[in-house]
């Protein structure tokens, strides 16, 4: 195996191998929460364990995608999606407006990337609300504060989701560009 592909392969394997014990933790936490009989404090702890397990699963997915891209083994499962739907989020800090367009892309990975950009903008910019404004296959995220800009754009490696998001969008033929307080993501149609 070539040295340049060894590290991404090891990272991909580690991400994959961590899923089994994580699935066990998540499964038992769900069983406990659904089974009832827990006092309020214990139920809250089990809920926190479930949320952390879901977050770890998302992080492992991001690491796995990045490792496959960097190792030259990324083979996206392309499907049609609407860009407005891709930008929509269940996170209360993220809003999406505008008119979408149909694109053929790796839907779960791109949705996760757009979510990561938005969450990074809210978290690192210390803002309560961010909005995706969708114009066909061009999506604009605002506000992106000056301090948070390099992090949200994936240039400053302090947010895994933003770094992976940028690399993914570019790998799929799109672009990520920071312009003042707006992050512009163009998805390949």
Q: Read off the pLDDT of residues 81-97 as tens digits, 9 standing for 90 and up.
A: 999 999 999 999 999 99
Q: At residue 188, does pLDDT exceed 60?
A: yes
> 30-82 pLDDT, tens per residue?
999 898 889 999 999 999 999 999 889 888 888 889 999 998 999 999 999 99
Tokens (6 digits) for 153: 């754009």
| Burial tier of 90 (Cβ tally within 10 Å: 0-12, 13-18, 19+) | exposed
CB 128 within 8 A of CB 136: no
When pLDDT is cut at 50, 70 and 90, the band that residue 161 belongs to is: very high
By DSSP bridging, strand 182-186 and strand 79-82 are unpaired
Task: Tell me the pLDDT tens digit for each residue of 117-144.
Answer: 999 999 999 999 999 999 999 999 999 9
* Domains (range + CATH), the chain: 3-70 (1.10.287), 79-186 (3.30.565.10)
pLDDT band at 14, cuts 50/70/90? confident
């Amino acid at each position: 195996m070539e040295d340049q592909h060894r590290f991404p392969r090891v990272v991909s394997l580690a991400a994959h191998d961590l899923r089994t014990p994580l699935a066990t933790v998540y499964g038992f936490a769900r069983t406990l929460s659904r089974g009832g009989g827990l006092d309020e404090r214990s139920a809250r702890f089990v809920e926190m364990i479930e949320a952390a397990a879901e977050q770890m699963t998302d992080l492992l997915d991001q690491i796995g995608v990045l490792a496959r891209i960097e190792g030259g083994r990324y083979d996206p499962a392309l499907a049609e999606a609407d860009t407005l739907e891709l930008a929509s989020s269940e996170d209360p800090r993220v809003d999406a407006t505008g008119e979408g367009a149909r694109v053929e892309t790796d839907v779960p990975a791109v949705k996760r990337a757009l979510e990561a950009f938005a969450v990074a903008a809210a978290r690192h910019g210390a803002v309560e609300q961010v909005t995706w404004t969708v114009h066909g296959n061009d999506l604009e995220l605002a506000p992106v504060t000056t301090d948070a800009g390099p992090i949200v754009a994936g240039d400053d490696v302090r947010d895994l989701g933003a770094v992976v998001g940028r690399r993914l969008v570019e790998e799929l033929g799109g672009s990520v560009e920071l312009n003042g307080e707006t992050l512009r993501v163009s998805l390949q149609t």
